[in-house]
Amino acid sequence: MPRFSITTPIYYVNDRPHIGHAYTTFVADALARWHRMQGDATFFVTGTDENSQKNSEAAARKLGKPHDQITHEEIQAYVDGMSATWRQAFDTLGITYDRFIRTTESDHLAGVNQLINAVRDAGDIYLGTYAGWYCVECEAFLPEKELSGGMCPYHTRAVEKLEEQNYFFKLSAYRDKLLAYYDAHPDFVQPVSRRNEIIAYVRDCLEDVSISRPKKIWGIPFPGDREHVVYVWFDALANYMTAMGYGTDDVRYRTWWPANVQLVGKDILKFHCALWPAMLMSAGLPLPERVFAHGFFTIGGEKMSKSRGNVVNPVHMAERYGVDVLRYFLMREIPFGSDGDFSEERLKERYASDLQKGIGNLAARTLTMMRKYNDAIIPPPHLGGGRGGVGCEAAVATTWRSYAIAMDALLPHEALDAIGSLVRTADQYIESEKPWVLAKDASQRAHLLATLGTCCELLRHVALLLAPIMPDTAHAILTALGQPDWRSHALTDLQQWGSGAIGATVGDLPHLFPAME
């Protein structure tokens, strides 16, 4: 059986999820659903990153304490509560993860220790002194040339000048190996713009990196030296493997690693496409197949930030418009890999044009015609799409091919374009065949029935195609078309023209996309 494993970044618990976090996780969920639908054994990992200074600072702020006075137990209680908040949010948003990893778990601790020991055994860790600038928000040391007016360019936050003894990883020793790997595996970093960016960084800027901090309160003790804690990125990156059993369950690890796809934001590209593969090379472990970095989010044209008051809570947005609507809008509006803008006005426009007038209208008129002209019984469709030259059967086959190519290329917006084209084909077919005219001529009864069957078949394929992206909507349509058990059938069978529930009675379908108040 083919297998597919996919990961999202793990998310800091210093605050609640925002719409950008939901975007990444929705795409991962859609890809996981698509592979499950194809019958692939699938493992989907997401979770929370808890061993960071920003999390301990957030705990101190919540308790109203100076950071140096907060206890380990108080920080643990804080991250426990916040991780539960993230998990509940993802459950509310319908995220079908197979593993929700927390970096304070014992399984993760065991895997981090094993990874660091493997890198040390390779001779790639040494003790040294770091002096430079540190951004708490990035949890990263930044070269002075990357600063903007003494501020972190990503977070517009003042950086700290640090000088401390750290353990270092010999990242610079992997420059040539990384460049050779990128050359031999052109799909490893995607999209192409990010690949070009990481090649330039590794070629021109790669330096050894600190992988520990002096022990203060919070973090995983550094193996062999308890006066240090593991630097959060060296710890966090390991989650992708520890979630799959590295260090604790070798059978599970070998089943699911390496990941087929790792989704990240472009701001953490260097960690995932330079540091992470070098760590794996050092430890003698396989690299993930693809790392795909999507762009940044703006809200109504402005950068999202608390100070602007424009941080969008995805749970609140889903309560207002529905989870499926939010999933559709984010994956349709923003080409994955590019920067994008979230706007409620644009969401409302998409809702009206694509969902109300498109998918919703097609479903409503198809089921209405079934009840009006054939007592709600689904007849067989035309083979070849019937007269009228629309070629519905061929259009469905073409749509499935385009859809599969888009999903496998991690381009859900193109997959939704293909669905939109099929919806338009179905509308054109109805207008061409005019069932309301055929129903008035008894001699056209056979053609009317085949036309109605074709309308149901087109709608059925639209619903199947929607299933990974709008799962609740898809299931509601397929249930109304007599296939509530569609998940128990092989996709190759479902994709066949005419494999709907012939002879079934169409059921009730709630108004999918009612008018907004």
Model pLDDT for residues 460-486, shown as the tens digit of each residue: 999 999 999 999 999 999 999 999 999
Model pTM?
0.93
Q: Which two tokens stand for residue 370?
A: 């079934």
CATH number at residue 469: 1.10.730.10
Residue 475 domain flag: yes
Question: Which of 137-141, 236-240, 438-442 shows the lowest per-residue confidence on average (mean pLDDT)?
Answer: 137-141
Residue 115 domain flag: no
Which phi and psi angles does 209 have, rounded to 5°?
A: -125, 140
Q: Is the pLDDT of residue 219 over 60?
A: yes
Q: What residues does 151 pair with on adjacent strands?
A: 148, 158
Q: What is the DSSP string of 134-165?
A: EETTTTEEE-GGG-BTTB-TTT--BPEEEEEE
> Is residue 406 classed as helix, strand or coil in its secondary structure?
helix
What amino acid is encoded at 382 in this protein?
Answer: H
Number of domains in the chain: 1
Q: Which two tokens stand for residue 417?
A: 């374009």
In angstroms, rounded to a whole number, what is the distance separating the alpha carbons of residues 89 and 382?
45
- State the Rg of the chain over Cα: 26
What amino acid is encoded at 169 in this protein?
Answer: F
Sign of CA dihedral 247, 250, 252, 257: positive
Residue 480 domain flag: yes
Residue 406 domain flag: yes
In angstroms, rounded to a whole number, what is the distance separating the alpha carbons of residues 124 and 29?
36
Note the Cα 433 to chain centre separation in Å.
40
pLDDT-based confidence at residue 198 (cuts at 50, 70, 90) = very high
Describe the strand order of the beta sheet including 221-222 as a list of residue ranges.
212-214, 225-230, 221-222
pLDDT number for residue 155: 61
Find the mean pLDDT for residues 261-284. Answer: 97
Residues recognised as catalytic = 18, 21, 135, 138, 152, 155, 303, 306
Which residues fall within 8 angstroms of residue 129, CB to CB, at 6 or more apart? 163, 164, 165, 166
Which phi and psi angles does 432 have, rounded to 5°?
A: -75, -45
Residue 421 domain flag: yes
Q: Is the pLDDT of residue 7 over 90?
A: yes
In angstroms, rounded to a whole number, what is the distance separating the alpha carbons of residues 501 and 504?
6
pLDDT number for residue 142: 73
Which phi and psi angles does 293 have, rounded to 5°?
A: -105, 115
pLDDT number for residue 389: 45
Residue 273 domain flag: no
In angstroms, rounded to a whole number, what is the distance separating the alpha carbons of residues 454 and 458?
6
pLDDT-based confidence at residue 301 (cuts at 50, 70, 90) = confident
Model pLDDT for residues 77-123, shown as the tens digit of each residue: 999 999 999 999 999 999 999 999 999 999 999 999 999 999 999 99
Regarding predicted confidence, which is higher, 305 or 8? 8
Residue 352 domain flag: yes
By C-alpha distance, which of 292, 239, 270, 311 is closest to 20? 311
Model pLDDT for residues 376-431, shown as the tens digit of each residue: 999 999 886 555 445 899 999 999 999 999 999 999 999 999 999 999 999 999 99
314: left (phi over 0), alpha (psi -120 to 50) or beta: alpha
By C-alpha distance, which of 89, 33, 28 is closest to 474? 33
In angstroms, rounded to a whole number, what is the distance separating the alpha carbons of residues 464 and 96?
18
Residue 399 domain flag: yes
pLDDT number for residue 186: 97
Full residue range of the structural domain in which residue 482 is found: 345-494
Which run of H or E residues covers position 99? strand 99-102
pLDDT number for residue 136: 67
